[in-house]
Amino acid sequence: MKIIASNFKTNHTRATTAQFIHRIDKFMIDDNITQTVYLFPPSTALDSFETNQNLHIGAQNCHWVKSGSYTGEIGTQQLDEFGIKTILIGHSERRHTMGENQKDIAKKFNYFKALGYRIIYCVGEPLEQKQAGLSSTLGYIQEQFGGIDLTYDGLILAYEPVWAIGTGISCGIDDIATIHKKLAKKTTAPILYGGSVKQDNIKEIINIPNVDGALIGTASWVADDFVNIIKFCN
């Protein structure tokens, strides 16, 4: 059974998020979709959504606290209000744009692991490492496993090459297969691929061995498109 996740990033409002979730939930019920679907709206749009048992709402980010003085952050008090128990950690935009380092990412991972959250943990190499070859890519990813428990049973790993995110240029099928095979030797957790997954490449990507699903940004933000992507994977 494949896992399909949509990361809204800084898109959608509270109103359009609610419409989106309602649309996906209805489609999943009507079409008997049994795959697991995760949606990560912006934190201002989180709410207590009633969804079918295969549709889960997660947080794109949360600080490693219940509450306190952390301007601009949210804590688990804010997630608990809506019963949210899924979080995205290590996304390349948090690493490379917001400057989160591996030490802090591991601290965050371990905080949420101790609370039993489902964690989608993202790794992936920048273009420089990709161009330097496979061992450079694998070495870079290995560093992103620093302080991370790959045996955690709430873990879902996501391989997302930085250069493929939001660029429209997905990683080649053979390269995805190679990396996922290596990652599957390190963990029994499901491994998603992310980076310019869209309607016209999802079928091919989802059928690669050791690809257990997809984490999708841009191509998932229109509900009808996301519905098609889920259909292709079913």
Neighbours of 172 (CB within 10 A): 10
Among 183, 215, 223, 227, binds ligand PGA (CB under 6 A): 215
Vertex 205 angle, CA 199 and 209, to 5°? 155
- Rank residues 197 and 211 by Cβ distance to ligand PGA and give the closer one: 197
Q: Decide: 234 and 203 in contact? Cβ < 8 Å.
A: no
- Rank residues 29 and 169 by Cβ distance to ligand PGA and give the closer one: 169
90 is an interface residue for ligand PGA by CB under 6 A = no
Q: What is the distance between the alpha carbons of residues 209 and 217, in angstroms, rounded to a whole number?
A: 22
Q: Kindly give, in sequence order, each residue whose CB lies less than 8 Å from that of residue 43, ignoring residues fewer than 6 positions away.
A: 59, 60, 61, 62, 74, 78
Q: Which stretch binds ligand PGA (CB under 6 A): 43-51, 69-77, 141-149, 188-196?
A: 188-196
144 is an interface residue for ligand PGA by CB under 6 A = no
213 is an interface residue for ligand PGA by CB under 6 A = no
Number of residue whose CB is nearest ligand PGA: 217
CB of 220 to ligand PGA, least distance (A): 7
Residues serving a catalytic function are 91, 160
196 is an interface residue for ligand PGA by CB under 6 A = yes
Q: Which residues pair with 36 in a beta bridge?
A: 3
216 is an interface residue for ligand PGA by CB under 6 A = yes
Which H, E and C letters describe 129-140, residue by residue? HHHHCHHHHHHH
Q: Which residues bind to ligand PGA, rule: CB under 6 A?
A: 7, 160, 165-166, 194-197, 215-219
